[in-house]
Each structure stands twice: as structure tokens, then as C-alpha cells.
């Protein structure tokens, strides 16, 4: 069963912010929101994760709504190298990551 | 960040032969490793969870006698595809969870298996 819903694809102009949404309306209290990305033919790369507070690191920001039913990953200044499939995953910290279909982000010049 | 390696990066084998794929955590200890499979244009599918020193736990529909997993040390897990067939051709990816940082999983670069 899919725990998250993401748009299948998005475009973003280079240098602009990329905002990738994710719905996770059935998230439980002990589940975190994780974001990974996969560049073609490579292993997934960890981006960020959070429980209920907004988070920021050197790669991205994660905004989680107060009811925790949705979140947005923000890449503040997208580059061509950010073109990838982005996966939003909710899980308890002790379990494996189960990947959905993700969002294919295309950053254009 | 932590590094996970896989060997080989790509392998071509004949139908009926067995292939072993290694997954190593290079700078951290991993009590738990995971094996995924990814077919073209599809998402990663979890195959099994591998715990050091114990038997792997396989996901529904994954044949444990065909996909042998060994996790004999805190830095090495192996996946052996036995009696490979063309339908086993896929991208196999492992990940390792840092024992000291339980929330993070690090992925290997993947192994492209082609069975002819």
C-alpha cells in the first residue's frame, strides 16, 4: 500500500527554487518523513528527514505541515545536477525504506 | 558522509550460473543491511533485510533459496543469485544502516546484472 503520494513529474528552471510536494495523510505519530533522490543508474542519495519540525541542511529544506499530513521538499537554487527522481518516504526509524514511484524532477537551462 | 561500496558494478553471466554481489560499508559498522532490486523505469523494491550473524528476512514473493544472503560481518553482506535466468536481469542495490546513527541508511552505487 502506498503511504505517500507524489506528482509523477515536475519541471524547474535552473537557479529557481524547486518545491516538491508529498502527501502522507495516514502517517502515524512515530513515523518520520524521509527524502531520497536517485540520479539515473545510481544508488539513492539521502537528502533530509524530519518528524514534525521543519528541517534544513546544506542540500535542502523540509517543510512539514502542522497536521503532518503533507510535506514539501525545497531545493533553493536548482541546478542541472539536481535532475533526478525524488522519493518521499514515511517510516519508523527502525525499518527499511519502501520506495514509491517518486517525482521525476527535470531542471532545465 | 558514510560510504557503501558494491562489487562488481556490472556483471554479465550465462543462464544457469550463479553470481555473487558484495556490499561493504567502508567507514562505519552496519548491523543491518538491505537488498533492493530495480527493473527499468520502475522504483526500488525491497528484497530482503540482512542482519549480521542471523538469517535474512525476505519480502513476500522473493525466493530465499534463489537469492542467498550472507551477512557474516558488520561491514559485509553478500547476495548470491543462484541459477540465474534472463528475468533476473536487473539493477541490484544494497543499503546499510549505521549502527550508531539508526535513522540513516546509506546506499551503494548498485550492480547491473545481465543474464544472457
Whole-Å CA distances, A43 to A9, A26, B75: 20, 28, 18
Q: Cα(A17)–Cα(A40) distance, rounded to whole angstroms?
A: 21
The pLDDT of residue B31 is 85
Cβ–Cβ of A101/B110 closer than 8 Å?
no
What is the 3-state secondary structure of B13-46? ECCCCCEEEEEEECCCCCCEEEEEEECCCCCCEE
Helices (H), B25-115: none
Q: What's the pLDDT tens digit per position in A48-60?
A: 999 999 999 999 9
Summarised one tens digit per residue, pLDDT across range B61-71 is 999 999 999 99
pLDDT of amino acid A25:
93
Q: Residue A74 pairs with which residues in a beta bridge?
A: A19, A61
Collapsing DSSP to helix, strand or coil, A58 comes out as coil
Cβ neighbour number for residue B83 with a 10 Å cutoff: 12
Q: Provide the pLDDT for residue B99.
A: 72
CA of A3 to nearest chain B CA: how many angstroms apart? Answer: 14
What pLDDT shows up at residue B49? 93
- At B26-72, the pLDDT tens digits run 988 888 999 999 999 899 999 999 988 888 999 999 999 999 999 98
pLDDT, averaged per 10 consecutive residues of chain A (109 residues), comes to: 86 97 93 94 93 94 96 97 96 81 96
Rounded CA-CA distance A27/A100 in Å is: 15
Strand order in the sheet with B19-25: B4-7, B19-25, B76-81, B67-73
Contact A78, A20 (CB under 8 A): no
Average pLDDT, chain B: 92
Chain-chain contact of A43 with B110 (C-beta, under 8 angstroms)? yes
Question: What per-residue confidence (pLDDT) applies to A63?
Answer: 98
Q: Which of residues 5-64 of A touch B (CB under 8 A)?
A: 32, 36, 38, 41-46, 49
Give burial (CB, 10 Å; 0-12/13-18/19+) of B31. Answer: middle
Inter-residue contact A46 to A36 (CB < 8 Å): yes
How far is the alpha carbon of A44 from chain B, nearest alpha carbon, in Å?
6
Interface membership of A94 toward B (CB under 8 Å): yes
- The 10s digit of each residue's pLDDT in B72-116 is 899 999 999 999 999 999 999 999 987 776 667 899 999 999 999
Write out the three cell numbers for A97.
Answer: 525504506
Give the CA count within 13 Å in the CB-facing half-sphere of B37: 17
End-to-end, the C-alpha distance of chain B in Å comes to 37
Residue B46 has its nearest CB partner, among A32, A44, A96, at: A96
Residue of A nearest to B93 (CA): A43
| Cα of A101 to nearest chain B Cα, Å | 6
CB of B72 within 8 Å of a chain A CB? The answer is no
A99 chain-B contacts, CB cut-off 8 A: 36, 43-46
Distance, in angstroms, between B110 CA and closest chain A CA?
6
Burial classification of residue B87, based on how many CB atoms lie within 10 Å of its CB (0-12 exposed, 13-18 middle, 19 or more buried)? exposed
B109 closest CB neighbour out of A42, A87, A94: A42
Amino acid at each position: 500500500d502506498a503511504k505517500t503520494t507524489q506528482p509523477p513529474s515536475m519541471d524547474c528552471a535552473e537557479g529557481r527554487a524547486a518545491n516538491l510536494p508529498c502527501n502522507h495523510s495516514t502517517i502515524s505519530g512515530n513515523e518520520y518523513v524521509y527524502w531520497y533522490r536517485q540520479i539515473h543508474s545510481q544508488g539513492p542519495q539521502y537528502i533530509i528527514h524530519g518528524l514534525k519540525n521543519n528541517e534544513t541542511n546544506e542540500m535542502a529544506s523540509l517543510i512539514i505541515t502542522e497536521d503532518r499530513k503533507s510535506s514539501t521538499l525545497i531545493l533553493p537554487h536548482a541546478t542541472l545536477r539536481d535532475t533526478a527522481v525524488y522519493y518521499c518516504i514515511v517510516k519508523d526509524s527502525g525499518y527499511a525504506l519502501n520506495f514509491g514511484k517518486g517525482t521525476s524532477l527535470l531542471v532545465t537551462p | 558522509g558514510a560510504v557503501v561500496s558494491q562489487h562488481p558494478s556490472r556483471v554479465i553471466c550465462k543462464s544457469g550460473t550463479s553470481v555473487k554481489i558484495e556490499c561493504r560499508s567502508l567507514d562505519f559498522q552496519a548491523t543491518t543491511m538491505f537488498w533492493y532490486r530495480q527493473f527499468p523505469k520502475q522504483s526500488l523494491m525491497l528484497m530482503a533485510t540482512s542482519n549480521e550473524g542471523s538469517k535474512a528476512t525476505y519480502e513476500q514473493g522473493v525466493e530465499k533459496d534463489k537469492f542467498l544472503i550472507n551477512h557474516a560481518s558488520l561491514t559485509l553482506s553478500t547476495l548470491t543469485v543462484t541459477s540465474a535466468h534472463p528475468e533476473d536481469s536487473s539493477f541490484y542495490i544494497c543499503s546499510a544502516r549505521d549502527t550508531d546513527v539508526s535513522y540513516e541508511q546509506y546506499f551503494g552505487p548498485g550492480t547491473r546484472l545481465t543474464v544472457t
